[in-house]
Amino acid sequence: MICVIPHGLQWKDAPRGYGPPKTLYNQFIRWSRLDVFSRIFAAFAAEAGTPERQMIYATHLKAHRTAASLLQKGACRRSIGRTKGDLNSKLHPVCDGQGRSIMLLLAEDQMSDHKGAAMMLSAMPSARELLADRGYNSNAFRAALLERGFTPCIPSIRRGKEPLPHDKTPYRPRHHIENMFGRLKGHFGMDVQRL
């Protein structure tokens, strides 16, 4: 998995010392279904401590042509949605102030940004403020953030009737979460697209 996924290789291209390709694939699927990777990720995120500032973002992921089956069979439901021409997913990461991932949510592409964030809100560690872009501008989401003790730093949408006050100074380091996607693009097994 360490050789195949980051380099965008096929399972048959893994070093022979790791075993047959079908065995590697089956182990990857088994661990995915048992949430082994989620638990490893959660353990690494817990070591970082509680951040003062968190950032949230969403980006589109184009599904590979071999993921074209929208059949919802098995224990794991697929987070793939159909758009105008393709099958896509949406990745919602929550990062700390340095752009290190704390949480990830993979959802259907049609899900709005603030609905995906609301799904993760109960599991987010507490922080002083949450930085987000205009896609998260929702009165309900802002109220939920304030209820949890977060100070929302979300700019209003441009076409809004009454723009909410927004301080640009704490919003400046939000580029760290976009830099995280730049690092993810370095792993060829993940195709990250921005609209």
> What are the tokens at 87?
């099958």
The per-residue pLDDT for range 59-69, each reduced to its tens digit, is 877 776 666 55
Q: Which own/partner contact pairs does 113-122 have at CB distance under 8 Å and 24+ positions apart?
A: 113/58, 114/138, 114/140, 114/141, 116/58, 116/90, 116/92, 117/56, 117/92, 117/141, 118/144, 120/56, 120/92, 120/94, 121/145, 121/148
pTM of the model: 0.70
Residue-wise pLDDT for 155-168, tens only, equals 887 766 777 777 77
Query: Residue 89: phi, psi to the nearest 5?
Result: -125, 170
User: What pLDDT score was predicted for residue 117?
Assistant: 85
pLDDT at 195: 35
Model pLDDT, residue 68: 59
With beta carbons less than 8 A apart as the criterion, state whether 145 and 137 touch.
no
Q: Which fold has domain 49-193?
A: Nucleotidyltransferase; domain 5 (3.30.420)
Query: Could you give the CA distance from residue 192 to residue 128 in angstroms, rounded to a whole number?
Result: 29
CB 86 within 8 A of CB 70: no
Which parts of the chain are beta strand (E)? 53-56, 59-62, 81-82, 87-95, 101-108, 129-131, 151-153, 192-193
**C-alpha torsion sign, points 107, 108, 109, 112:** negative
Q: What's the mean per-residue pLDDT of the chain?
A: 77
Q: Residue 52 gets which letter from DSSP?
A: S
Instruction: Identify the band that residue 107 occupies on the pLDDT scale cut at 50, 70 and 90.
Output: confident
For 73-89, the pLDDT digits (tens) are: 555 566 676 667 677 77
How many helices (H) and strands (E) would you count in the chain? 7, 8
Average pLDDT over residues 141-169: 81
CB count, 10 Å around CB of 34?
Answer: 11
On whether the CB atoms of residues 83 and 153 are closer than 8 A, the answer is no
Domain map of the chain by residue range? 1-34, 49-193
